[in-house]
Amino acid sequence: MTLKVLLDTIVSSLPKRQKDIVVQRFGLGSNQVRTLAYLGEKYGITRERVRQIEAASLRTLLKAAQEQKEIQDILKKSLSHITLLGGTRRADFLVDDLRLVLQDKTISGSYITLLFSLFKSPLYFPETDELYAFWYTDTTALKDVKSFIQKMALFLKNKKEALIERNEFDTLFAQVTKQHNVKEFIALNFLLNSKEFRVNPYGNFGLTKWPEITPTTIRDKAYLVLKKRKAPMHFREIAQEINKVKFDAKKAHPQTVHNELIKASDRFVLVGRGLYSLREFGIEPGNTRDVLLRLLKKNGPMGLDKLVQLVSRERVLKHNTIFLNLQNKKFFKKNNGNYHLA
């Protein structure tokens, strides 16, 4: 029999009010968990009285569950699975795990919570600002997961460039797990309990607080889009890509994107009509003439074809636009087929 059928059977043996309180406190069947205050108001009793009734009901259910070998086997397999993963497992992930482990598609978080609450094993860690809700086998496992998360965050603190620029997560992860003598699959499981780490839509792993991992502004989102494309993009195309990637629920509007790119000239460079690239790619701001002057100063005299080739790496310009700018004798001169600075 499934866990749902087994637990529903013993719960149904409770008196009506006790049964209703257990069903609503654990959200059995509906996944809608009711508070002590809600049930106290429903029955015209205090929250403490509801808590007492719930506790008494669980003691009765525990005795019934201890007589059920199938329930004992399910608990044993669940604990073995969590132990295999280092002694902890995020609550929402455990539901899917046990559906496979127990070959039971009806498994739900509410029935798992009731089972574990009856036997007080494994233990439940409620969600906080730093951690997701998870189950853990004992205090040693709880200490291990918190310790590793802390060490990992400290280790990655100054590794942004290696993770984002060079995508060296595998190497760094192997290094830190070896250093702390933790198996890699257990270490990964530990990290899943933490809100300090995240993978961005482009597959880069890092600290959640990094804007490259969790971009919140239009500028940060546009930066990631351009960095991924590694080529100039029109501001309308950037807006479309932001909405396609869905960094969050906020929609990017083309004009907003354009305005933000203009304001952030320290990061973005206009390279054509409505086209932008990143300054970090080595592209400097300036109009066509500025680019030509800089390239000739840096590289010396050169022919038109070579000059067009170099300009094209930084700007999206027509051949004729470059040629016409070179005709300004105040700034440029031509000698033996090569263009020089005037």
Q: Output the domain CATH number for residue 86.
A: 1.10.10.10
CA distance 144 to 66: 30
Say whether both 234 and 277 belong to one domain: yes
The pLDDT value recorded for residue 144 is: 96
How many domains is the chain partitioned into structurally? 4
Contact 22, 28 (CB under 8 A): yes
Which residues, 6 or more positions from 68, have their beta carbon under 8 angstroms from its beta carbon? 6, 10
Say whether both 110 and 179 belong to one domain: no
Which residues, 6 or more positions from 177, have their beta carbon under 8 angstroms from its beta carbon? 183, 184, 187
Write phi, then psi, for 136 (nearest 5 degrees).
-140, 150
The DSSP 8-state label assigned to residue 131 in this structure reads B
Owning domain of residue 155: 139-193
Which residues, 6 or more positions from 7, have their beta carbon under 8 angstroms from its beta carbon? 28, 65, 71, 111, 114, 115
Identity of residue 204: N
Say whether both 151 and 131 belong to one domain: no
Does the pLDDT value for residue 284 go beyond 80? no
Mean pLDDT of all residues in 34-57: 96
Find the range with the poorest average confidence among 141-155, 220-234, 242-256, 310-324.
310-324
The pLDDT value recorded for residue 103 is: 95
CA distance 311 to 317: 8
Say whether both 222 and 125 belong to one domain: no
- In this structure, how many other beta carbons lie within 10 angstroms of the beta carbon of residue 132? 16
Helix (H) or strand (E) holding 198: strand 197-199
Say whether both 49 and 105 belong to one domain: yes
The pLDDT value recorded for residue 187 is: 97
Mean pLDDT of the chain: 92
CA distance 176 to 51: 45
Write phi, then psi, for 318 (nearest 5 degrees).
-75, 155
> How is residue 48 written in tokens?
């403490």
In a domain, 181, yes or no: yes
Say whether both 297 and 237 belong to one domain: no
Say whether both 308 and 275 belong to one domain: no
Does the pLDDT value for residue 26 go beyond 90? yes
